[in-house]
Amino acid sequence: MTVNTQTRTNEDMEPLTPIYTADLFSPLHAELIGLLRGLDERDWMRQTLAISWRIRDVVAHLLDGDLRKLAGGRDGHRVRTASSFTDIVDLINEQNASGVAYATRLSPRVMTDLLEITGRWVSEYVATLSPHATAGVAVAWAGEDLSENWMDTGREYTERWHHQMQIREAVGADGLFQRPWFYPVLDLSVRAFRRSYTDVPAATGTAVVFEVEAEGDNVWSVIREVRGWSVVRGRAPGAAASLRADADTAWKLLYNALAVEAARARVAIRGDSRLAEPMLGTRSVMV
């Protein structure tokens, strides 16, 4: 894993660079399987932050996601494609619903046993990908029409991380906020800001800072440039606005587990609130 963890001064900024997460899949998967093996029958029926999904439904979704990743990515099996953002969201929702529905006939033990195998296969598969080759799927929530494998693999990592967090939240288990787990999630997720700010008017040079209270340095800035908005690491000097959130608020906001009004009450916004508002609506998932 390549993660920049050195401390920067307030005025240091650097462009976003690739962040490699393939070697995190196996240990993250081990955390999940260990968690699931410790749950009882009642736990599997607990409601999660994923609205209508119980823990068993989240696990079913992860299993279905593994199978689709292997079939579509590793094996090149394509059933249906979509082009527009709305069509992609509709397709994903349809696939998610059918995958969860199928798993109603599976027991928790069967799902866990199968997930243990498919998770290992996916971990092995992503490790074989050339990081800078073109991915088969673009990361649309980041505003990309074409993505490299490191970004698509990163998207898959954030998917597995935040669904495991939903399970952990439901059973009161400790969250995975240690820097090796959480920093890659944040550094990948903030790339969704560029899409969120596309239509926000501002003078060239205007900057908005996003900061998360977590282990290490977790500060990014969204800056208006001549050709549009960009996201960089670090704190832009003289920013017109800033948004600061604790770790729990940040991940729930970015992963559609916290409504805008609820998030607004939990974050600290300074400066021009109009410029910070798009951050409250940013989602690093397809919704």
Q: Give per-residue pLDDT as tens, 70-129.
A: 999 999 998 777 778 887 788 787 888 888 999 999 999 999 999 999 999 999 999 999
Say whether 190-280 and 15-188 share the same fold: no
Q: Specify the pLDDT at position 76.
A: 93
The reported pTM is 0.92
Q: Residue 9: how many CB atoms within 10 A of its CB?
A: 9
| Domain-wise residue ranges, the chain | 15-188, 190-280
pLDDT in tens, 174-214: 999 999 999 999 999 999 999 999 999 999 999 999 999 99
The first and second tokens of residue 38, run together, are 């410790």
Residue 11, pLDDT score: 56
pLDDT averaged over every residue in the chain: 93
Q: In 3D, which of 221, 286, 283 has the Cα closest to residue 254?
A: 283
Nearest to 103 by CA among 53, 159, 63: 63
CATH class of segment(s) 15-188: mainly alpha
Q: Order of strands across the sheet with 219-225?
A: 13-15, 228-234, 219-225, 207-213, 241-246, 268-271
pLDDT digits over 154-180, tens only?
999 999 999 999 999 999 999 999 999
CATH 2.60.40.1930 fits 190-280, yes or no: no
Q: Please report, in angstroms and rounded to a whole number, the separation of the first and last CA atoms in the chain.
A: 28
H/E element, 14: strand 13-15
